[in-house]
């Protein structure tokens, strides 16, 4: 697998080229989105996940149909108010979870935003949060499928782990803030006030900032 790398801090690309912002694959999926939801009424019984982006306020809905015998995803549809990057990355995600007979729900949960970026040939770094939107809606749809099928042991808590008990800031809040550009402790504290009244958590906060920067931006 080719590593996604940061070239100039602004573009995340496979090749390190600085002369383009959107790959041909991204443009193709933007202009010809795969599996876009056309008929919501026909999917009224399908499991569905709806999420909003804390970074930009856009919303994403993902529907999945699953074979109960194999727990493989046979169909994945989506709809969004998000931008071209959200459209292209969710289109690619819908292809990845259904191609070759479909991923199992466990495999789909292991799909990472970096895997989608890899197939897209990269995205501008300021657009990474858009590619996370489809991934989060897919996870919500998987949880919905398990709930509908009385498999509550398989429902995952998406709220995250509390890092700062004073402010109730979780690791998910820190992840969203880093995606929204808070890539230093100062910027994160300006946004979330994390650690201001509970400085004992700051080493873990700094560790999480490094972790998410590496995860999403390869920095
Ligand atoms: S999804 Fe909101 S800016 Fe891309």
Same domain, yes or no: 96 and 112: yes
Query: Is 201 labeled as catalytic in the residue annotation?
Result: no
pTM listed for this prediction: 0.78
Query: Final residue of a domain: which of 154, 176, 201?
Result: 154
The secondary structure of 27-76 as a DSSP string is HHHHHS-TTB---GGGGTTSEEEEEE-TTT--EEEEEEEEETTTTEEEEE
* Interatomic CA distance for residues 138 and 112, integer angstroms: 11
| 83 labelled catalytic | no
pLDDT digit string (tens) for 145-183?
999 999 999 998 877 889 999 999 999 899 888 887 888
CA of 68 relative to ligand 1 center, distance in Å? 33
> For residue range 64-77, what is the model confidence (pLDDT) as tens digits?
999 999 999 999 99
Give residue 113's pLDDT band: very low, low, confident or very high (50, 70, 90).
confident
Give the position, in ligand 1's atom list, of the atom nearest the Cα of 127: 4
Q: Is the pLDDT of residue 95 over 90?
A: yes
pLDDT tens by residue, 20-65: 478 999 999 999 999 999 999 999 999 999 998 777 788 999 999 9
On the question of pLDDT at 192 being above 60, the answer is: yes
Q: Which domain holds residue 176?
A: 162-217
Check which CATH number belongs to the domain holding 189 and give it.
1.10.10.1100
Q: How far is the CA of 55 from the centre of ligand 1 (A)?
A: 8
Atom of ligand 1 nearest to the CA of 57: 2
């Amino acid at each position: 697998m080719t590593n996604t790398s940061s070239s100039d801090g602004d573009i995340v690309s496979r090749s390190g080229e600085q002369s383009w912002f959107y790959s041909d694959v991204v443009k193709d999926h933007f202009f010809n989105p795969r599996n876009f939801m056309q008929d919501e009424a026909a999917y009224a019984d399908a499991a569905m996940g709806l999420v909003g982006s804390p970074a930009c306020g856009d919303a994403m809905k993902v529907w999945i149909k699953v074979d109960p015998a194999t727990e493989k995803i046979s169909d994945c549809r989506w709809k969004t108010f998000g931008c071209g990057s959200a459209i292209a990355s969710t289109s690619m995600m819908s292809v990845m979870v259904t191609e070759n007979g479909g991923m199992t729900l466990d495999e789909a949960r292991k799909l990472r935003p970096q895997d989608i970026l890899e197939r897209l040939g990269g995205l501008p770094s300021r657009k990474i949060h858009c590619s996370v939107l489809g991934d989060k809606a897919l996870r919500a749809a998987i949880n919905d499928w398990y709930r509908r099928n009385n498999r509550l042991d398989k429902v995952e808590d998406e709220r995250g782990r509390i890092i700062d008990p004073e402010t109730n800031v979780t690791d998910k809040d820190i992840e969203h803030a880093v995606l929204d550009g808070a890539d230093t402790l100062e910027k994160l504290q300006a946004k979330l006030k994390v650690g201001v009244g509970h400085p004992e958590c700051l080493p873990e906060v700094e560790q999480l900032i490094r972790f998410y920067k590496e995860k999403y931006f390869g920095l």
